[in-house]
Amino acid sequence: MTNFKSSATARRKNTLSGKDMHIGIVVSEWNETITKALLKGALNTLKKNGVPEKNIMVKTVPGSFELPLGAQMIEEKFHPDAVICLGCVIKGETTHYDYICASVADGIMQLNLKYTKPFVFAVLTCNNNQQAMDRAGGIMGNKGEEAALTAIAMVALKRELAQTKS
């Protein structure tokens, strides 16, 4: 299968600087093998793009459903420039998957709007474990890396717009 990583993501990888950014990361403990790989990708990418290790805060929550609240807690206590939300929901035999995915996506979107700050949705919503592994460092890349690049890009955009006169 082809890796469909966008050219914009590839360009960002070489041009973004996060040297003076503070980034929060909230990561689900559920599907831990997958979420640890996403976290590793995010951390490596943040550091490669100049975010000092001391400016990165990582906190865990039990599952993906708790990601929005965990992200809000990080925001309200530490006020980072962005919060990356890492999780993995794998479809089972019941509709539980649908409720969790919709709730988490909506919760993270609401945080973006409430705080006018990037809360990056990096929650894998997969049909099976193989699809999750493919997106956590496998043939589809690492969505944690992409989330880190998105966080840096959105903080840079916010800063740029703050300096632009209306």
Catalytic residues: 96
Report the candidate in 5, 26, 157, 154 with the shortest Cα–Cα distance to residue 84: 26
The distance in angstroms from the start CA to the end CA of the chain is: 46
Kind and range of the H or E run holding 47: helix 32-48
Give one DSSP letter per residue of 82-140, joined into a string: EEEEEEEEE--SSTHHHHHHHHHHHHHHHHHHHHTS-EEEEEEEESSHHHHHHTEEETT
CA separation for the pair 68, 26 (Å, rounded)? 9
